[in-house]
A and B are shown apart, each in its own frame.
Chain A
């Protein structure tokens, strides 16, 4: 018998370690650049370290405005996605019906096709229907591709709830609504929260679709894109980049802890 913990060949260890470094070093660099004293270039190593750019960023109304819009859009899109995604997951997992495959394909399509297609399709539809751009046009787009994240998490959890739990509840005298409130909701609750957090992170970060569905409004990623294409004050961009990393990471950790026993975070849902 071999041992339960075979040790990996050295070459594999190095390749895997190098791969992980490749994934993480660039993100760590962002944290260093947020403190650099260099204003005009991306010089490495930084000539000095300072925290003054945090104060400068704090006093920038355009950053605050973009952040505010991003949070609003992400919050509303997430709410819509939770409602639509849960309904869809419940329907798909409760019974087998004709067209079931088609509907799950329909949910996945907005992220399976390149974002630019979703974006330009929405934009041309808005212009055909003469809908003026606003926060709501952004939300329309975001909610569409956020549904799948909630859906994936909810479907995975519904699959784990044994069908006899619902029957047991009804058998004990609970009607449909009581069963939903006392049995289904407590059992899918954490999956919904996890899915909602991922949807929030996804929306908070989205730029490709947003460039097509936003008019004059700037979400934080749109603001960053502007800065990347036409840099105005590089150190402020560095600070915002670091904050964005932190803000998106928190929900990921939370979602991981909520779903770690059993179902996986729907990573393929992004």
Chain B
């Protein structure tokens, strides 16, 4: 769908041009260029302090850029307060109003726009139905579970029909099972509504499974923008390779010895196989072995280089301290551009 990125002639939903946000000497966001297409499910991925949340707040209007230009559907957004942007946010801590019941929480945005009580309550009910919480209107936020609060926060944002919906670590506070359910629901909701979703996460699995495109942040800059496959299979930099899926990052010397150019390269752990007696196999020693359920991770020492291998269940596996021979397809060795 949007895997190839926004087409050149469509107005992007959100566009950053050389946007910086500095707090004193800290460059939270540093000269970022970014286009998010309409209808896209876009993820901003990065460790904490990488600038992804600041970018989200720049779109919402809670922060103003120190320099650069932000456009939302072609309109200049710098200097426009949050309450005049047709953009809504689902907050990390949900930020439900504790003094209002669920229905009044959801209809808050319509209320401040001056829409009559009957109409706004009708729309709020519809929004609650959309997030599968029909009939919860009379409850107080304090009476709801974490997952339910999150749905209310979602309904409260969606009822305003935002042009862009921002989600700040929306699943961070939920437990694993609930998180997986919500991932699927958010995805199908986004598909059926067609609203542009921009969500911030530090969880690479979440970003890979939900987003159409991902921007990987580090130190206030975007390291790489691309489809989940791009980001995972073809990381541009050592940082991306390391952060997304804990790839083996191999130094130029090692790569040169084993069939590549003298460049840094990444090698996915699942691309490594046990290959006893195969041509070109490498001698390795098992340093550690961790059982992960569906797979087992082996820590290997190959010529002094640490390499992780992820082997599917059902294999007979060598124990710690054993010597094995390993191999990988030359095509799996992904060369990277720079030394970052």
Contacts and interface: CB of A to CB of B under 8 A. Distances in A.
A–B direct touch in complex (beta carbons closer than 8 A): yes
B89 A168 contact: yes
Contacts of B160: 172-173
B89 A165 contact: no
Given A162-B93, A167-B82, A173 B109 contact: yes
Interface string B67-88: 0000000000000011110011
A167 B113 contact: no
B156 interface: yes
Interface residues of A, number: 17
Interface in A163-195: 164-165, 167-175, 178, 182-183, 186-187
Interface residues of B, number: 26
Contacts of A186: 99
B22 to A, nearest CB: 18
Contacts of A168: 89, 91, 95-97
Contacts of A174: 83, 108, 112
Contacts of A167: 60, 62, 82, 89, 91, 95
A164 B95 CA distance: 6
Contacts of B89: 167-168, 171
Interface in A143-178: 162, 164-165, 167-175, 178
Contacts of B95: 162, 164-165, 167-168
Nearest to A190: B99
A177 to B, nearest CB: 10
Given A182-B112, A186-B99, A187-B98, A171 B93 contact: no
A182 B89 CA distance: 19
Contact of A183 (B62, B87, B97, B157): B97
Contacts of A162: 93, 95
Contacts of A178: 83, 112
Which residue among A168, A169, A178, A183 has the maximum number of chain B CB atoms within 10 Å of its CB?
A: A168
B99 A187 contact: yes
A170 B93 contact: no
B288 to A, nearest CB: 37
Interface of B: 60-62, 81-84, 87-89, 91-93, 95-99, 108-109, 111-113, 156-157, 160
Given A167-B62, A167-B91, A182-B112, 17 more contacts: A164-B92, A165-B95, A167-B89, A168-B95, A169-B112, A170-B61, A170-B62, A171-B60, A171-B61, A171-B82, A172-B112, A172-B157, A174-B83, A174-B112, A175-B112, A182-B108, A187-B99
18 contacts: A162-B95, A164-B91, A164-B95, A167-B60, A167-B82, A167-B89, A169-B112, A170-B83, A171-B62, A172-B88, A172-B108, A172-B112, A173-B83, A174-B83, A175-B83, A178-B83, A178-B112, A187-B98
Interface of A: 162, 164-165, 167-175, 178, 182-183, 186-187
